[in-house]
Amino acid sequence: MQITKNLKVKEEVYTEILDNGMTVMIIPKKGIKKKYIIWGVHYGSIDSTFIVPGENQITEVPKGVAHFLEHKMFEQENGKNSLDVLTALGVNANAYTTNDHTAYLYECTDNFYEALDEFMDYVQNPYFTDENVEKEKGIIGQEIMMYQDYPDWKVYLNALEAMYHNNPVKLDITGSIETISNINKEILYKCYNTFYTPSNMAMVVCGDFNPEELMKEIKSRLIKNENKGEIKRIYPEEPETVVRNRVEQKMEVSIPIFTIGIKDNMNSNNKLKGQENIVSKHIAIQILLNIIFGESSDLYKKLYNEGNLLYAPMMDYEFSNTYAHILITGQSNDVDVMYRAFLEKLKEIKNNGIPQEDFYRLKKMIYGEYVKEYDDVSDIARMFLTEHFKGINSFRYLEEIDSVTIEYTKQVLDDIFDESRIILSIVKA
């Protein structure tokens, strides 16, 4: 096993790439009672067009298969539901699907290895029938309809649809009633056999473990499954431009909800691009967002005092190899006033430069937030899994923040915060 240490948080990760290609990461936390395990598949909602290893033809499946698969994995041939089995052991189990990966997890204080038996069994042994697939369509159909009534979800999806012409990130992770109607057991097995292979999976465990002993326990529960080779994922070309700069939808809300979206220029070939720079770029974006619109910013205080912001907006940079965007979401009594003030603040910082005092203060604050993430075993494990699928070791955020300069951050500001790629999504009554 390879051991990677970070002295700043006094943490270490034991990593081994198994013979079958699967990556296992163990982060020991001595004296911590809670144990957390997450097993991820590099397969998300955007992966509906691909070439199976060993084949030549393109396979295209309905939107929503990754999420459908996640739902179906708990049902076993013996009639039991693995989620119920794990709950009976006293562990808290769950699963989720994102744009770029699917994950199965549980946390507990006791019965870790008893739960591991069931956990590793159900993820490696799918059971799909015509009957249970048809039944699931009704369940997921209800979920899809329920989300259509959530203003927070609609303002988010509408923002993505306003930014992206073709990239499947703009589509609902669950698919639609129409697309899931075309899913059958053959499609589920094909996608499972293509993506749920060890070389396309990673496992992260965090808690009070002996890494060598835990690694043996994990290996002993793995079914023999050879590395089948690389899956060729096919994504449509995406223009740099946005689809529209503004989108509004009427729903039952007491106060309008907004999302400001900023589409990153993924296709440009400048020095800010490339996987080697993505962590520094992400840090710079976090600093900029806090300078412009964070809780301590002049803009936030002004809008809050005027009643045009109810709370500090949620701000995030979402990215993968095929898409990247900034999202700023909040509630405002007058979205247009808020939005104009945001654009004016952006121009002001571009023209006058980044205030040095704010830059160093917020950089220090963000570093503190990174350190705090290492307090909780679930935060650690999910962070390492999510960033692994992006090709990033999570320690890099702690290691690279010192090298992010005010000059580099200004380059990121000029490169990404381009008004032509900024959109506004509103949900109001």
CATH number at residue 210: 3.30.830.10
Asked if residue 158 lies in contact with residue 249, where contact means CB atoms within 8 angstroms, the answer is yes
The tally of CA atoms less than 13 A away on the side-chain side of residue 140 is 27
| Residue 136 sits in the same domain as residue 253 | no
Task: Give the residue among 48, 22, 51, 94 at the shortest CA–CA distance from 388.
Answer: 22
**Does residue 225 sit in the same domain as residue 254?**
no
Examine the pLDDT at 268 and tell me if it is beyond 70. Answer: no
Alpha helices in 91-210 (DSSP H): 112-124, 130-148, 151-163, 177-180, 185-195
Q: Domain check: are 49 and 192 in the same one?
A: yes
In a domain, 25, yes or no: yes
Residue where a domain stops, chosen among 183, 207, 233:
233
Looking at the predicted structure, is the pLDDT value of residue 103 above 50?
Answer: yes
**Sheet arrangement for strand 246-250:** 246-250, 422-428, 257-263, 324-331, 314-319
Q: How confident is the model at residue 44 (pLDDT cuts 50, 70, 90)?
A: very high
76: in domain: yes
Residue 310 and residue 213 share a domain: no
Cβ–Cβ < 8 Å for 286, 354: no
pLDDT on residue 106? 98
Q: How high is the pLDDT of residue 221?
A: 96
Same domain, 278 and 197: no
> Residue 267 pLDDT more than 80?
no
In a domain, 238, yes or no: no
Please tell me the distance from the alpha carbon of residue 411 to that of residue 420, in angstroms, as a whole number.
17
Looking at residue 148, its pLDDT comes to 87
Residue 226 lies in a domain: yes
Tokens of 159: 């923002």
183-207 pLDDT, tens digit per residue, is 999 999 999 999 999 999 999 999 9
Identify the residue whose tokens are 């369940």: 139
Residues 282 and 179 in one domain: no
241 is a domain residue: no
The residue type found at 113 is: Y
Region 17-42: what's the mean pLDDT? 96
Between CA 53 and CA 232 the distance in angstroms is 8
Express as a percent the part of the chain with pLDDT over 70. 97
pLDDT in tens, 379-413: 999 999 999 999 999 999 999 999 999 999 999 99
- Indicate if the pLDDT at residue 24 is higher than 50: yes
> How far, in Å, are 42, 158, 275, 289, 359 from residue 278 at the CA level?
19, 26, 5, 16, 19
Whether residues 288 and 405 fall in one domain: yes
Select from 184, 211, 233 the last residue of a domain.
Answer: 233
- Closest alpha carbon to 268 in 259, 279, 277, 256: 277
pLDDT tens digits, one per residue of 294-311:
999 999 999 999 989 999
Half-sphere exposure of 39 (CA within 13 A, CB side): 20
Q: Would you state the pLDDT for residue 270?
A: 44
Strand duo 23-28 + 232-233: pairing: unpaired
Contact 90, 110 (CB under 8 A): yes
Give residue-wise pLDDT tens across range 210-246.
999 999 999 999 998 877 788 999 999 999 999 999 9
pLDDT at residue 228 in the model = 79
Q: What is the pTM of this model?
A: 0.93
Structure tokens at 297: 């910013």
Instruction: Please give the share of the chain, as a percent, with pLDDT higher than 90.
Output: 93
Would residue 203 count as lying in a domain?
yes
pLDDT score of 28 more than 80: yes
- β-strands 422-428, 257-263: how paired? antiparallel
**φ, ψ for residue 294 (rounded to 5)?**
-70, 175
Residue-range definition of the domain harbouring residue 167: 2-233
**Residue 272 phi/psi, 5° resolution?**
-85, -15
Do 256 and 223 fall within a single domain?
Answer: no
Active site residue 107: no
* 197 in any annotated domain: yes
Q: Strand pairing of 257-263 and 2-6? A: unpaired
In whole angstroms, give the CA distance from residue 231 to residue 58: 11
62: closest CA among 149, 146, 143, 137? Answer: 137
Same domain, 423 and 316: yes
Q: Are residues 282 and 207 in the same domain?
A: no
Q: Is residue 128 part of a domain?
A: yes
> How is residue 341 written in tokens?
């003030």
Residue ending a domain, among 199, 233, 267, is 233
**129 three-class SS:** coil
- 134 secondary structure, DSSP code: H
Is the confidence at residue 269, as pLDDT, over 50? Answer: no
* Total number of domains constituting the chain: 2
Same domain, residue pair 190 and 254: no
Which of 11, 70, 118, 161 does the annotation list as catalytic? 70
For residues 352 and 386, state if they share a domain. Answer: yes
CA distance 195 to 230: 10
What is the enclosing helix (H) or strand (E) of 349? helix 335-352
Looking at residue 271, what is its pLDDT?
A: 44
